[in-house]
Structure 1
Amino acid sequence: MERHLFVRILSLPSEDPADIDTEWLLCSSEGEVISGPAKGNLLSIEETLAEENALGQAKTVFILPGDQALLVKVPVSEAQMKHIKQALPYMLEDHLVNDVDDMLIVTNSQVNEGMLPVAAIAHESMSKLFAAISDLALNPYLCISEAQLVNTTSSEVIQVVVEGDKALMAIPEDNYFSVDTSILPMTLQTVLENPAEYRMIDAEDDPTLAMSAGYTRLKVTVAKPVTLEIKRLLKQLEHQLQQYQIELEFSALKGAIFHYLCRSFLQNQNRQKYINLFQNQYSVSADSGAGFAKWKSVIYLAATWVVVTLGLHLGQAIYFGQQSDALHQQAEEVFRSIYPNARNVFDLKDSMTSRMKQNASSGGEGVFIKLLVDVSSVTQQLGSQQIKPKSLDFNSSGNSLMLEVNAKSYEVLDAYVNQLKQRGMSAKLETANQEKETVLARINIQA
């Protein structure tokens, strides 16, 4: 019997699983509760499931607060889809408060009527969660915004789930929001006055006509007991909807809203609609219960420009046997800045190789050195004026490198990726963003 473990993140203060507050529920594929719902830190979930002999047997769906992830739809052409990863940062730039480089921007690749659903979340949040779950045996399956758990069962019905001071909205077709309950009427009014922003409706200047032709019902779901504040809210919404001839439907649940949202997920047969935030550098393998592919830094001091430059300089030295005196002097200066206590460094190449082997993950140093040498040789052939490495991470489980570079242009970047492939490596361009004078890109490289 297939099981799903739903873990809703309530707070994300650090990378320590013991600091991350959650609400969780283990249930069957039919929605039958096996364990929970319960609240506790992320570490306590693993401990509880281990005691119940349920650890690693369920697909874990991580659910992030709706206000942490921006969910929007952007117009896209068939030609743009071929380079969608490179185009997305520009498409979302006007929607974001933070800098584009600080955000993870992903999509479910499901284009409907020329519109593509996109999610954006801060790297800071994703990196904390990713680091926290990397050492836990929770079999990660998806990471989604809680707003997407509200199903739109009909193209004519707006769904709202109210949970305390938070309201989750689902507006056909596939528009999702998380707002404070206090501003729900204001948000709804914005939707009613701008229907063309959310769906294609053939009405010119009359929003009342547009909405009456588009939406017929607003369904509000809450958990019992129904408080006085909820009753006031419902009365306000009912009055608000009258001018648009939209019916208000109200439902009060006996159980928890969280369980209701989890059941909504299980009832939805179209899992492709969910925008999985476990993408790019936060990707997880399908069989991660047997070993979660945790990205670990090979150079533990820091994945900074200085360290990576040193590693690649020495990779070039290993490949060519000898480097010019200027390059050797430069590498030695950087080496000593990182290892100030090193004495009698007669052979810089051997010294750094030894250091890297000490810092590399168990069993992966041979693959790492080979990848480093091959990547270094290609980088050297293009020259530092064309391509400059910025950082790298080694995936000891997948034997691959995630390399971040600054390229002079997109043409140089394409040439670099092609040369890596010609050297027998599998090189996949993950992201590429145009900066002021260069292109910042992340490349996944496997031997």
Structure 2
Amino acid sequence: MPDRLFVRYFPESDSLQWLMYDGEGNVKLRGEGPPETFADRTAEMNWSGSVSALLPGETVLLTSADIPTRQRRQIQQAVPYMVEDDLATEVEQCHFAIGERLPDGEISVAAIERGTLDQILERLSAAGLAPGSMKLDTLCVPFDGTTSVLIEHGRVHVKTGPASGLSLETALAGTALGLLPEDAAVSVVTCADGGDAGEVLVAQLEAETDGAAQVDVSDAEGLDLLCANYGQSELDLLQGEYEVDEVTAVDSNGWSLVWKLGVAVFALQVLLFAGEGLYLGTLADQYDADARALYARTFPKDRNVRDVRARWQSHLRGGGGEKGGFLQVFGAAVRHLPGSSLDAQNVNFNESRGDLILQLEAPRSEQLVGFSQTLGDAGLTAEIGTINQAEDQVKGSIKVRLQ
């Protein structure tokens, strides 16, 4: 049977913990240190199996969103804007992972900065690690429906729900535990590596709950318990663009037959579709360049635009402005064009003022005036700008805004 490797990476200290089980569930390798140390320890070691990663809970934002739809694609599109107010950075700079639907109907969500996640994956890759999944240690704490506290070496985890909680250093845990409701049912597990600090925290909890806290002492270390409960957490950070197939180290010291066959098939596909791939890549680059150029001409004051599509959508919504967004003003105005004998030649929108400028063409100037009055009767503010008489047509502009 294959081995199974668990690793927990701490970005702030660039330290890694690893725990490997053999096919029978026995500990095969254990240690901690920089990722390079793990690479050195396993350089001459034969092992095969999956890699499962853990991150400290404080690395991400845990929240939830009320999204009625059950279609995952629609949920993925809605989540960034539903939790935008909870973020400390721009939506475009964050990666969102979606978990299970909670008992109250909301969707559990984890948000992490893309730059942070990219750096984490790069450091793991430098150690020869390509995890097939990545979860939070906070959510791997055993949970029985009550507030669950797990005390391990240097860290305390408080899990308050199926997909909610916090993790922090032992030195800061006393204050956090003191904020728990007095009547809260609390289950506490002290791990074998909890140390004296763990005993102090248990005494504090027992005092604050008048002895009502249920305290268990485990012979296992903290990482062992978290890994044993790894499968109970459904919130995996490796979703969307970061999603990977389950990665298995079939032969850590050389190419196995499976890998050789896979590489051969891949190489054949590359040769067969190289021409098509180059063409599509060039076409995609051209479309991307055209889209960015069009955006730059339309919104010349915007800088450092990473996600053009998201910015377009934001401008079309009007950025939440008080005078209404483009779609709202445009929809209210153009619904009166059919049957008016007017042709729209151009449309401009001033996002800061909420003004929509319609360049129109009509047989007679009276029709432009009549259309302006129609918009006014519909509850819009409409002002005629310019009217120019051509040979058999009249061209003019009307400025429209919501009242």
Range into which the TM-score falls when normalised by the shorter chain: 0.5 to 0.7
Partner of 1:74: 65
Q: Measure how far apart 1:24 and its partner are.
A: 0.5
Give CA-to-partner distance per residue, 1:137-191, whole Å, 9 cap, x none. 4342111221122121x22x32211234421112233322112334435434544
Partner of 1:318: none
Partner of 1:167: 156
In the alignment, the residues of structure 2 paired with residue 82 and residue 411 of structure 1 have an alpha-carbon distance, to the nearest angstrom, of 22
SS in 2 for 1:8: strand
Partner of 1:374: 283
Give CA-to-partner distance per residue, 1:297-335, whole Å, 9 cap, x none. xxxxxxxxxxxxxxxxxxxxxxxxxxxxxxxxxxxxxxx
Of residues 94, 104, 107, the one that matches 2:98 is 107
In the alignment, the residues of structure 2 paired with residue 77 and residue 69 of structure 1 have an alpha-carbon distance, to the nearest angstrom, of 24
Gaps of 5+ in 2: 252-269, 298-305, 317-350, 353-403
In structure 1, give the amino acid aligned to 2:38: I
Map 1:393-404 → 2, pairs under 5 A:
404=307
Map 1:193-232 → 2, pairs under 5 A:
208=183, 211=184, 215=185, 217-224=186-193, 226-227=195-196, 229-232=197-200
Partner of 1:38: 31
CA RMSD of aligned residues (A): 3.8
Map 1:11-410 → 2, pairs under 5 A:
11=11, 20-28=14-22, 31-35=25-29, 37-54=30-47, 57-78=48-69, 82-134=73-125, 137-152=128-143, 154-155=144-145, 157-192=146-181, 208=183, 211=184, 215=185, 217-224=186-193, 226-227=195-196, 229-242=197-210, 247-265=212-230, 268=231, 270=232, 273-287=233-247, 289=249, 366=275, 368-375=277-284, 384-385=293-294, 404-406=307-309, 408-409=312-313
SS in 2 for 1:86: helix
Q: Measure how far apart 1:283 and its partner are.
A: 2.7
In the alignment, the residues of structure 1 paired with residue 88 and residue 240 of structure 2 have an alpha-carbon distance, to the nearest angstrom, of 22
Structure 1 residues 255, 365: closer, same or farther in 2, change over 3 A?
same
Structure 1 residues 9, 250: closer, same or farther in 2, change over 3 A?
same
Structure 1 residues 22, 135: closer, same or farther in 2, change over 3 A?
closer
SS in 2 for 1:108: strand
In structure 2, give the amino acid aligned to 1:78: T
Q: Measure how far apart 1:367 and its partner are.
A: 5.1
Q: Measure how far apart 1:72 and its partner are.
A: 2.0
In structure 2, give the amino acid aligned to 1:64: L
Q: Measure how far apart 1:76 and its partner are.
A: 2.2
In the alignment, the residues of structure 2 paired with residue 27 and residue 256 of structure 1 have an alpha-carbon distance, to the nearest angstrom, of 14
SS in 2 for 1:132: helix
Q: May I ask how many residue pairs the two structures share in their alignment?
A: 291
**TM-score between both structures, scaled by the size of structure 1:** 0.55
Q: Which has the larger radius of gyration?
A: 2
In structure 2, give the amino acid aligned to 1:370: Y
Give CA-to-partner distance per residue, 1:107-132, whole Å, 9 cap, x none. 12545441211111122221112223
Structure 1 residues 241, 137: closer, same or farther in 2, change over 3 A?
same
In structure 1, give the amino acid aligned to 2:3: R
Taking only the aligned residue pairs, the percentage that are identical comes to 21
Partner of 1:10: 10
In the alignment, the residues of structure 1 paired with residue 290 and residue 193 of structure 2 have an alpha-carbon distance, to the nearest angstrom, of 68
